[in-house]
Each structure stands twice: as structure tokens, then as C-alpha cells.
Amino acid sequence: MLSKIEALLARIEGFNSTNPAEIEDFRVKILGRKGELNDILEDFKKVAPEQKRELGQKINLVKTAATSRINTLKEMAAEAAQAPAAAIGDMTRPGSEDGIGSRHPISLVRREIVDIFSRLGYTVAEGPEMEDDWHVFSALNFPPEHPARDMQDTFFIEKNPDILLRTHTSSIQVRTMEHQKPPIRVICPGRVFRNEAISYRAHCIFHQIEGLYIDEGVSFADLKQSLLYFAKELFGESAKIRMRPSYFPFTEPSAEVDVSCNLCGGKGCNVCKGTGWLEIMGCGMVDPNVLESNGIDSTKYSGFAFGMGVERIAMLKFGVKDLRLYFENDVRFLHQFDSVL
Ligand code: DAH
């Protein structure tokens, strides 16, 4: 009988649960009218008188141990049930508002530029960031010794055959000509990569937007008029443009486009370095070699192309002096664009 009492005591001390129903079951099993303790008390009646004292004390011990264990577990279960509510706090308090995020200034400007050209009938085209030599250089009439192919400018992934990160979005021109027949009118936004030292005016990853228009009878006058429309939409009705002769392997003739400085209105300030003009893009008439390399008859079709840096335009539009701010994602910088567009 002693071993039966001790086994019961051990089970009581080992019992653990925070489930109120389980605790109640346990209480009934041990302390209930038909419980194990009553069984023991039945046996106790038959015990020899000289053993009654010692066994009686043990039985009392089991009873108090069971009662106190069950009460403690019941309290713990009640506390556990309360805990989630305590963590939530005052359920009647009004909820806190979720702050609405803002678009990144580079996305804002990219969208605005793409929107302006969609109003002129351009559709968006995209291409891979990882490219081959053909799409980035060869099909765009870059001679084999051109310095842009150099390790200093280009991030190569593999040599021979060359696999590289595109250094400009002009590669999307090539991809478009491969799949579309003229008339072609595409605007191509994308990330580009160049092995440049990071400074206030340069980064090794940046964004460009390329434009391409090919049809019968496209002229330089069409290019100039389209870009003037673009400048006025982006910088305001009073914006003017000027074109300076330049060189790109894939266009002939080529030009660099300046827009009148929107900060000083053309009078000259430190942003436009006293000139009243800001350079915003390169452009030109698509070189007949490029059309032919991509299977387009250059005696029938002509076209123009242009390419601009999104960071540069965003800097001019928002008066940002350090390009690195666009990549640091400091929310104090980003929140200043909450209300734009
Ligand atoms: N791809 C040139 C660059 O990265 C920009 C450019 C210039 C694109 C003239 C053009 C263009 O389409 O016609 O500097």
C-alpha cells in the first residue's frame, strides 16, 4: 500500500498541463468520489492499527499535494488565457494608421518620361541586363577596338564568347529590331552597369531610357520636334532645347541635346555652370549599318534614336546635387518625394 501511495504522489508532482479540461479530468481522477485517493482510503480501513499513523500521514500528504498542484495549474491556465489580451492592450483604442510609402524619385521620373513618350505613340520594350557582345556593341556598329568594350568600362561575366552586363539600353534597340518590322516606335527603360568609381555624379549601376523610331521618311526634323515636345512636357512650357554635333557609333549624324536651365531660366547659375544649358541626352539618326545589321532595308527605312540617364534628369528636375542619394535609400531623403505625382 505504501508503494501505491508513493507512486500516486510521484504522478501528482509530475503532472503538468495548462489545458483547463485536462486539469479538471486529472482532479476527478485523483480527488473525485470514485477517484484514486478514495480507493486508497478504502484500503486504509483494512490496515493494521499500528500502521495507521504512518500511512494516514502519507495519505494526507497526497491529498494536500494533489489539491495544491491542481490549484496552481488552474491559476497558470487562467493566466495563459489572459496573456494574449494583455499583449494586445486596450482593445477599444483606435488602431494606428499604416503609413503609405512613397515612390522612389527614380521610378517617378522614369514613369513620367515613359508616359510622355506613350502619348506620342511609343510602347515600352525591355531587354535582359545580362547581354552578349552582339547586342551591346557589334550590332550597334561599335568597331572591335572601341574603348567602351574595354574592361575599364564594361563588367564582363565571361570572355570568349563575351557575356557582359549591358553598359547602355541601346541593346534593347537591337532586340526590338530582331522581333519587329518597321514602323517601330519603342521607349526602353532599364538598368545599366559600368565599371566606374562611385562619386556625386557617377555610379556603377544607373538607369537609362532609350527611344527608337523607325519608319519610311523619318527625318532629323522629326527627331528635333519630338525632343522639344518631350522637354516642354518634362520641364515646362518655357523649356527650350539645343543640339550640338556629337559622335556615337550607332547614329549618323549624332547630337547631344541640352535643355535650357530650369533653375535660372537660362541666365546662368552654378548648376548650369553659367551657360544657361544642361545636357540631358544623346541622339541621332540610326546609322544605316545598324539598320542593315538588324535586317532592315536602309534604302527604304530611316529612323532616329535617343538615350538619356534617368538619375541625371531626376537630379535636374528635383535639384539633387549628389547622385549617391538615390541609392542610399535614406527615408529622410525619400519622404521628400511623397507628394510628387
Ligand atoms: N547609349 C548612349 C550612352 O549610353 C546614349 C545614346 C546616345 C543613345 C545616342 C542613343 C543615341 O540611342 O542615339 O551614352
Decide which of 55, 88, 121 is a domain's last residue: 88
Residue 96 lies in a domain: no
The answer to whether residue 22 is domain-embedded is yes
Take atom 7 of ligand 1 and give the residue whose Cα is closest.
282
Query: Could you tell me if residue 49 is inside a domain?
Result: yes
How many whole angstroms separate alpha carbon 105 and alpha carbon 314? Answer: 7
- Which of 137, 142, 204, 210 to mutate to test ligand 1, by most ligand atoms within 8 A of the CB atom? 210
Mark whether 141 and 14 lie in a shared domain: no
Q: How many whole angstroms from 292 Cα to the centroid of ligand 1?
A: 19
Give, for all 341 residues of the chain, the pLDDT tens digit: 788 888 888 888 888 888 888 888 989 998 888 888 888 888 888 888 888 888 888 888 888 888 888 888 888 888 877 777 667 778 888 888 887 778 999 999 999 999 999 999 999 999 999 999 999 999 999 998 888 787 778 999 998 889 999 999 999 999 999 999 999 999 999 999 999 999 988 899 999 999 999 999 999 999 999 999 999 999 999 999 999 999 999 999 999 999 998 778 778 887 788 899 999 999 999 999 999 999 999 999 999 999 999 999 999 888 888 999 999 989 999 988 887 65
283 CA from centroid of ligand 1 (Å): 6
Distance CA(289)–CA(297), nearest Å, equals 10
Whole-Å CA distances, 311 to 107, 208, 267, 323: 10, 8, 24, 7
Ligand 1 atom, smallest distance to 169 CA: 1
Q: How many CB atoms lie within 10 A of CB 258?
A: 20
- DSSP H or E stretch at residue 285: strand 277-286
Rounded to 5°, angle at Cα 306 from 305 and 311: 155
> Is there a single domain that holds both residue 68 and residue 143?
no
Say if residue 319 is in the same domain as residue 272: yes
Q: 271 in a domain, yes or no?
A: yes
Look at residue 340 in the predicted model and tell me its pLDDT: 62
- The atom of ligand 1 lying closest to the CA of 208 is 4
- Do 207 and 284 lie in one domain? The reply is yes
Phi, psi of 157 (to 5 degrees): -100, -40
Q: Which of 59, 88, 117 represents a domain boundary (last residue)?
A: 88
If you measure from the C-alpha of residue 305 to the centroid of ligand 1, how many angstroms do you get, rounded to a whole number?
A: 8
Q: For residues 122 and 184, state if they share a domain.
A: yes
Same-domain pairing of 166 and 227: yes
Range of the domain at 173: 106-337
**Does 113 share its domain with 8?**
no
> Would you mind telling me the total number of residues written for the chain in this entry?
341
Structural domain contains residue 93? no
Q: How many domains does the chain have?
A: 2
Cα(333) to ligand 1 centroid in Å equals: 30
pLDDT at 227: 98
CA–centroid distance, 307 to ligand 1, in Å, is 4
Tell me: do 124 and 254 sit in the same domain. yes
163 and 62, same domain (yes or no): no
Residue 231 sits in a domain whose CATH number is: 3.30.930.10
Is the whole-model pTM more than 0.85? no
Distance CA 229, CA 120 (A): 9
For the beta sheet containing 156-158, the strands, ordered from the edge strand earlier in sequence to the opposite edge, are 130-132, 163-165, 156-158
**Bridge partner list, 258:** 242, 279
Cα of 248 from ligand 1 centre, angstroms: 7
Query: 272 and 146, same structural domain?
Result: yes
Cell triple for 106: 527614380
Cell digits for 11?
A: 504522478
Residue 112 and residue 341 in contact, taking contact as beta carbons nearer than 8 Å: yes
Q: Which ligand 1 atom sits closest to the C-alpha of 211?
A: 12
Task: Compute CA distances 146 → 151, 154, 158, 270, 325, whole Å.
Answer: 11, 12, 19, 34, 32
Structural domain contains residue 99: no
- Among 56, 88, 120, the domain boundary falls at 88
Q: Which atom of ligand 1 is nearest to the CA of 167?
A: 4
Q: What is residue 239's three-state secondary structure?
A: coil
So what's the pLDDT on residue 120? 96
Note the pLDDT of residue 283. 98
What atom in ligand 1 is closest to the CA of residue 307?
A: 8
Task: Report yes or no on 168 lying in a domain.
Answer: yes
How remote is the CA of residue 4 from the centroid of ligand 1, in Å? 93
User: Is 173 in the same domain as 271?
Assistant: yes
Q: What backbone torsions phi and psi does residue 119 show, to the nearest 5 degrees? A: -70, -20
Taking the CA atoms of residue 271, residue 256, residue 110 and residue 193 in that order, the dihedral angle to the nearest 10 degrees is -100
In a domain, 100, yes or no: no
Same-domain check for residues 142 and 66: no
The set of protein residues with a Cβ atom below 6 angstroms from ligand 1 is 168, 170, 210, 248, 251, 282-284, 305-307
